[in-house]
Amino acid sequence: MLRTIYNGQLRLSNVGQNVELVGWVAKKRNLGSLLFIDLRDRTGIIQLLINSEQIVVPDVRNEYLLHVFGVVKQKAVANNLLATGEVEVEVSKLEVINKAETTPLIIANETDALEEVRLKYRYLDLRRPTMQDKLIKRAQIVRSTHQYLDQNGFIEIETPILTKSTPGGARDFLVASRLHPGSFYALPQSPQIYKQLLMISGLERYYQIAKCFRDEDLRADRQPDFTQIDLETSFLNQDEILTLTEGLLHKIFLETVNYDLPLPLPRLTYEQALHTYGSDKPDLRYGLKIVNIKDIFENNQNTFFVDNTHIIAIKVANFAEQATRKVLDNYNLTAKKFKLASYAMLKYSSGELVGSLVKLFSAQEILALKTKLDLTEHDVVFIAASPLEDAAYFGLGALRTQVAKDLNLIDDQIYSLLWVTDFPLFETSDEGRLVAAHHPFTRPHDEDLALLKTNPAQVRAQAYDIVINGYEAGGGSLRIYDRDLQNQIFTLLGMSEEAIRFKFGFFVDAFNYGTPPHGGIALGLDRMTMILTGTDNIRDVIAFPKNLAGVSPMSEEPTTVDQQQLIDLHLKIVE
Ligand code: ASP
């Protein structure tokens, strides 16, 4: 052992002790014959005091790795910025274990380095205490998870990484088989099928900290390989699964950020979330609720009111002064992005409602609007209208989020957690096909089963998402456990008999052998860590992430490979 104590542990109680330390030079100051060094290890920084008239001092520069002996002294004036700030170590011997070149980025919590540089020299970026803190919190989340699930009878089981391609969700990453020319494995998008098979096996409670792979366009909160806390149970109903998961979240929040999550968490159905917040992942840290104002204009014959089945509004208090042209142009862009063709802004000032839409209102309608929205001076009203429910609500929901950010309405001292339940079972693709909203194994509500034949778009799923601070932080569902129903869903999704056999034959066969009712959930470990470490960049909570182009600037994958490797895999690159 090269040390007797960690640097960050030194306190007044250690004064007088002889210590042996290791660490990297974070900072160096010369004061004549006195040299001060801030020595950093994983636990923190301690100030070293070196008298060059008394000991031999080798050349020391930033990020040199040192081994020192010394005695702990109380400082005359404490440094409140450091946890160790009341003491320093007077050095009696100092050795350089290894030198360092000038680093390409500043190794401190604050660094001005571009993210590409940080990713290229990730091993140095990870020397920054703030980055280490994020990885340590991540490890705490994982530790709490293992403890909780173990205590609750869950068995950790690994599932394969080389799996069968079952296209339908996101795009698969494929791995060519050397032994089977022309055949491919797929990296798992999630362990979904395996965890359901484990329920059929009778293991009852499975979990895994699972790596998942999806070849999708990347975003600030998305990586091609990411991690889920994945679990599945048999014989529990939806309520029991949500309660069990709440217990896990409570433990994680308490042990990671010392936040005592009030339980039970609020629950909204998908329909309630959409109609109140214009989102299936609403952030409840601010209000700005949506109000349906269609009824006010029941007798208005103008096409704006007649053609738009959905006319809805949000009121933003005290916004009139700040709602400048520039701000509004931004909102126009958002409305466009969400295909919200008809949207308008009104101001309430000097007791009057002002805005281009107002000329279409009767005096009675203006009064009704004032009353319904409880308008006062300087309020702003955003109105969204559309024949399509999704365009109106998601569009206004996006504006709601933007307004909250612009007006700083979000209290970042609290966490907003809620369940969103009863999602539609299907979505309609751009080509008008039915696609599974969650995945094809999700169980429909029993009372909606008849609708599968008549109006499948109306069928609700026994599916749930956990939403944290406006992020979808996880989701799951009860699963179908009846072979015929599973086949019916595959067929509704446009799969032929042969396609079902080819892709899911083994899975459907397993349903013949006493499948238990089961369900589960997967929580996004990366997103949860983002939220609990206060970053909105997923790359900050992954030790070695890819950039937005899916490239690692450090090791440079993806790369070309040797011709021989391609030959072995029976592959040829076609330009
Ligand atoms: N496997 C699902 C997913 O990755 C989660 C689940 O249904 O348990 O979204």
Instruction: List, for residues 268-325, the tens digit of each pLDDT value.
Output: 999 999 999 999 999 999 999 999 999 999 999 999 899 999 999 999 998 888 877 7
Is 70 exceeded by the pLDDT of residue 210? Answer: yes
Ligand 1 pocket test, candidate residues 172, 190, 441, most atoms within 8 A of CB = 190
Ligand 1 pocket test, candidate residues 439, 442, 479, most atoms within 8 A of CB = 439
Is 80 exceeded by the pLDDT of residue 433? Answer: yes
pLDDT for 335: 86
> Which one, of 311, 332, 312, 328, lies nearest residue 320 by Cα?
328
First vs last C-alpha separation in the chain: 56
Q: How far apart are CA 386 and CA 406, in angstroms?
A: 25
pLDDT for 325: 77
Q: How far is the centre of ligand 1, averaged over its atoms, from the C-alpha of 398 (Å)?
A: 25
Which atom number of ligand 1 is nearest to the Cα of residue 438?
9
Is 90 exceeded by the pLDDT of residue 221? Answer: no
CA distances in angstroms from 247 to 109, 410, 431, 518, 527, listed in the order given: 33, 26, 41, 19, 18
Ligand 1 pocket test, candidate residues 206, 228, 526, most atoms within 8 A of CB = 228
**For range 411-428, the mean pLDDT:** 95
**For range 109-120, the mean pLDDT:** 96
What sign does the CA torsion over 564, 570, 571, 572 have? positive
Taking CA atoms only, the protein residue closest to ligand 1 atom 6 is 476
Which atom number of ligand 1 is nearest to the Cα of residue 519?
8
Q: How far is the centre of ligand 1, averaged over its atoms, from the C-alpha of 464 (Å)?
A: 10
Which atom number of ligand 1 is nearest to the Cα of residue 192?
1
Q: How far is the centre of ligand 1, averaged over its atoms, from the C-alpha of 475 (Å)?
A: 6
Return the half-sphere exposure (C-beta side, CA atoms, 13 A cut-off) of residue 330. Answer: 12
Q: Which residues pair with 352 in a beta bridge?
A: 349
Q: Choose the weakest-confidence range: 48-52, 156-160, 317-321.
A: 317-321
Q: How far is the centre of ligand 1, averaged over its atoms, from the C-alpha of 191 (Å)?
A: 8
Is 80 exceeded by the pLDDT of residue 167? Answer: no
Which atom number of ligand 1 is nearest to the Cα of residue 189?
4
Residue 32 identity: G
Taking CA atoms only, the protein residue closest to ligand 1 atom 4 is 190
Q: Which residues pair with 41 in a beta bridge?
A: 44
Is 80 exceeded by the pLDDT of residue 223? Answer: yes
> Which one, of 229, 236, 233, lies nearest residue 252 by Cα?
229
Q: Choose the weakest-confidence range: 261-270, 331-340, 476-485, 555-564.
A: 331-340
List domains and CATH numbers for the chain.
7-98 (2.40.50.140), 131-268+417-542 (3.30.930.10), 286-406 (3.30.1360.30)
Q: Which residues touch 345 (CB under 8 Å, ≥6 apart)?
A: 323, 328, 331, 355, 380, 381, 382, 383
Taking CA atoms only, the protein residue closest to ligand 1 atom 8 is 521
Which atom number of ligand 1 is nearest to the Cα of residue 441?
7
pLDDT for 429: 85
> Which one, of 480, 468, 517, 494, lies nearest residue 248 by Cα?
468
Q: How far is the centre of ligand 1, averaged over its atoms, from the C-alpha of 157 (Å)?
A: 16
Residue 93 identity: K
Q: How far is the centre of ligand 1, averaged over its atoms, from the C-alpha of 466 (Å)?
A: 12
Q: How far is the centre of ligand 1, averaged over its atoms, from the C-alpha of 264 (Å)?
A: 22
DSSP letter assigned to residue 360: G
Which atom number of ligand 1 is nearest to the Cα of residue 521?
8
Q: How far is the centre of ligand 1, averaged over its atoms, from the C-alpha of 439 (Å)?
A: 8
Taking CA atoms only, the protein residue closest to ligand 1 atom 7 is 476
Q: How far is the centre of ligand 1, averaged over its atoms, from the C-alpha of 190 (Å)?
A: 7
Q: How far apart are CA 403 and CA 383, in angstroms?
A: 14
Which atom number of ligand 1 is nearest to the Cα of residue 231?
8
Percentage of the chain modeled with pLDDT above 90: 89
Q: How far is the centre of ligand 1, averaged over its atoms, from the C-alpha of 463 (Å)?
A: 10
Is 80 exceeded by the pLDDT of residue 103? Answer: yes
> Which ranges of 429-496 does DSSP label H, i.e. alpha helix?
451-454, 483-492
Which atom number of ligand 1 is nearest to the Cα of residue 479?
7
> Which ranges of 278-381 does DSSP label H, i.e. alpha helix?
303-307, 325-337, 363-373
Give this prediction's pTM.
Answer: 0.94
Q: How many helices (H) and strands (E) does the chain have?
A: 15, 22
Tell me the pLDDT band of 347, cut-offs 50, 70 and 90: very high
Tell me the pLDDT band of 194, cut-offs 50, 70 and 90: very high
CB 198 within 8 A of CB 157: yes
Which residues line the pocket of ligand 1, CB cutoff 6 A? 190, 192, 475-477, 520-522
Q: How far is the centre of ligand 1, averaged over its atoms, from the C-alpha of 522 (Å)?
A: 5
Return the half-sphere exposure (C-beta side, CA atoms, 13 A cut-off) of residue 525. Answer: 26
Is 70 exceeded by the pLDDT of residue 352? Answer: yes
**For range 530-542, the mean pLDDT:** 96
Q: How far apart are CA 390 and CA 396, in angstroms?
A: 10
Which atom number of ligand 1 is nearest to the Cα of residue 228?
4
Looking at every residue in the chain, the average pLDDT score rounds to 95
Q: How far is the centre of ligand 1, averaged over its atoms, from the C-alpha of 196 (Å)?
A: 11
Q: How far is the centre of ligand 1, averaged over its atoms, from the C-alpha of 523 (Å)?
A: 8
Q: How far is the centre of ligand 1, averaged over its atoms, from the C-alpha of 476 (Å)?
A: 5
Which atom number of ligand 1 is nearest to the Cα of residue 475?
5
Which atom number of ligand 1 is nearest to the Cα of residue 232?
8
